[in-house]
Amino acid sequence: MRRQFRDESGVALVMAVWILAFLMLTGSSLVFYAGSGASHAKVSTEDARAVNLAEAGENYARAILYNAADPESSTAVGSGSLTLEGGTVNYAGTYDSATKIWTLTGTGTHANPTGAASPISRTVSSQVLVASSTGLDPAWGYLFADTSSCTTLGNNLTIDAPIYVRGDLCMENSALITADLVQVRGKVQIQQSASIGTAATPVTQVKVAGGCRYPWSGAYVTPCTSSQQVYRTVFSSTVPELTKPPIDLPNWYSNAKPGPMSPVCTTGSFPGQFDNDNALNRSNPIQNLFPNASYDCTVKDLVTNDVLGRIAYTPGSPGTFRIEGVVFFDGKLEFAGNRDVVYIGRGSIYASDTITIRNQVRFCGVASCNSTWNPDANLLLLVSGATAAIGFTIENNSTWQGSIYVVNDFSQGNSVIVCGPVIAQELFISNNTDNCFVPFADGVPGMPGNSAPTLELVNVPDSYTTD
């Protein structure tokens, strides 16, 4: 038998060459990817370092803001750069006055470990809200009756101002409350056609601790409903505890400018007098602040020339009354005699005795005496420190815009409009009158319970970003 043989001596060589090539390629790939991974890890490390630098810059901007004298100033933070270990930091802050939000940024820059010309740079940012808390006592948001008896509203009247009564509320005839908020810590009793809200326009919130009844007899019911002439959207029997802010007559007697202890005007003069015997005793004669002739009394700091207080009046149609600071009269005040007057400025007038507005007086913070009045621009507070039962009276076709504080009781009647908060022991409101309310954020000098507003910096949620 003849055998056939193949010559396979060259196959082993070829296979060896291919295997060697494969191993070399694999080895090169492993070396490449290992090197690439190490380089990438190094870049990632440096990238994280750049983020840390950026956060340091953003925190630096935040520290500047938190230590700023006025965080509402657009230049409170500014911008700049720092050199820290490992790189450079840039920081900046921009302020949006409309939203009161700061945007704080930090950019960290670090050399590229790969040797590339462009460095590694990262930016982070966050936002901070400048929130202000008012210095106003909450009682200044209401017609406020600080009494344990029954505050009575009667005849044809409409109250479109928030009302807070520490005692009971009694409504009769066609008295109507249309305000968004009514709070009574005692009880409410209603008779005849009087009501809180109407079926067509219910009051948003009614809070009455002791229940309601209609008419003035029988058991008090809670919650108060239309069956008791109370038309509301939300009812609660939990009423917050608010108190009448305290008053300091001796302090303002001594420190008002102009006033009993500072009666000399730096410029101008006042036709009447602030006191007559240098003692806080309510002995000064009645002062009429709307005479037939103009006057202007300004008290200034003799060193800085800053205005410390001013009271001025110019007759006209309307006349102009100017107020600044705190003015004090140790006796009675009267605004009377068919006058139409617009006041300009923000301040307080104290009378240690009664205050009366009567006989067709329009005394407002805006010429039209309507809702265009901005009390944060023009706001006058009248304070009556009388020991008499009725300390403040407004009557007979008169209109007032501003704030009123009465140590004792307040009386309003006979075709009167009062727009603004009233704080008194008792409120007597009746006879074709109307009460309205225009909110304001800042009190005026001399306002009882008022303190300077405070600013608070609040982090805006979910505002942190990184590029």
Task: Look at residues 170, 202, 236 and tell me which one is the last residue of a structural domain.
Answer: 236
Contact criterion met (CB below 8 Å) for 198 and 160: no
Model pTM score? 0.73
> Which whole number is the average pLDDT over 111-117?
72
Place 422 in a pLDDT band, splitting at 50, 70 and 90: very high
> Which whole number is the average pLDDT over 449-458?
75
Q: Which residues of 352-396 form beta strands (DSSP E)?
A: 355-358, 362-364, 379-384, 390-395
Per-residue pLDDT tens digits for 301-341: 999 999 999 999 999 999 999 999 999 999 999 998 899 99
Task: Look up the domain containing 73 and give its range.
Answer: 11-132+460-466
Place 467 in a pLDDT band, splitting at 50, 70 and 90: confident
Place 152 in a pLDDT band, splitting at 50, 70 and 90: very high
* Same-domain pairing of 126 and 59: yes
Place 454 in a pLDDT band, splitting at 50, 70 and 90: low
Per-residue pLDDT tens digits for 162-188: 999 999 999 999 999 999 999 999 999
Q: Which residues of 209-354 form beta strands (DSSP E)?
A: 212-213, 232-236, 267-269, 284-288, 295-300, 307-314, 319-329, 331-336, 340-351
Task: Look at residues 169, 204, 236 and tell me which one is the last residue of a structural domain.
Answer: 236
> In the prediction, which pLDDT does 49 show?
84
* Same-domain pairing of 276 and 334: yes
* Same-domain pairing of 226 and 344: no
448, part of any domain: no
> In the prediction, which pLDDT does 15 show?
55
> Which whole number is the average pLDDT over 413-423?
96
* Same-domain pairing of 167 and 259: no
281, part of any domain: yes
Would you give the distance in Å from CA 285 to the centre of its chain? Answer: 39
330, part of any domain: yes
117, part of any domain: yes
* Same-domain pairing of 181 and 268: no
Percent of the chain past pLDDT 70, that is, above it, reads 88
pLDDT at 220 over 70: yes
344, part of any domain: yes
* Same-domain pairing of 205 and 256: no
99, part of any domain: yes
* Same-domain pairing of 213 and 296: no
455, part of any domain: no
Residue type, 99: T
Place 134 in a pLDDT band, splitting at 50, 70 and 90: low
> In the prediction, which pLDDT does 336 show?
87
Task: Look at residues 236, 265, 294 and tell me which one is the last residue of a structural domain.
Answer: 236
Q: 43-57, 67-81, 85-99, 438-452: which range is least confident on average?
A: 43-57
Place 22 in a pLDDT band, splitting at 50, 70 and 90: very low
* Same-domain pairing of 300 and 424: yes
From the list 106, 17, 93, 13, the residue with the least C-alpha distance to 56 is: 106
Distance CA 365, CA 342 (A): 6
Residue 442 has a CB neighbour count (10 Å cut-off) of: 16
* Same-domain pairing of 271 and 392: yes
* Same-domain pairing of 128 and 57: yes
68, part of any domain: yes
* Six token digits for residue 291: 């005479």
* Same-domain pairing of 266 and 124: no
Top pLDDT among 455 and 314 is at: 314
Residue 46 has a CB neighbour count (10 Å cut-off) of: 19
Q: 11-20, 207-216, 400-409: which range is least confident on average?
A: 11-20
> In the prediction, which pLDDT does 3 show?
39
Q: How many separate domains does the chain show?
A: 3
Q: 114-123, 195-204, 261-270, 416-425: which range is least confident on average?
A: 114-123
> In the prediction, which pLDDT does 83 show?
87
Element (H, E) at 30: helix 11-66
* Same-domain pairing of 276 and 392: yes
pLDDT at 114 over 80: no
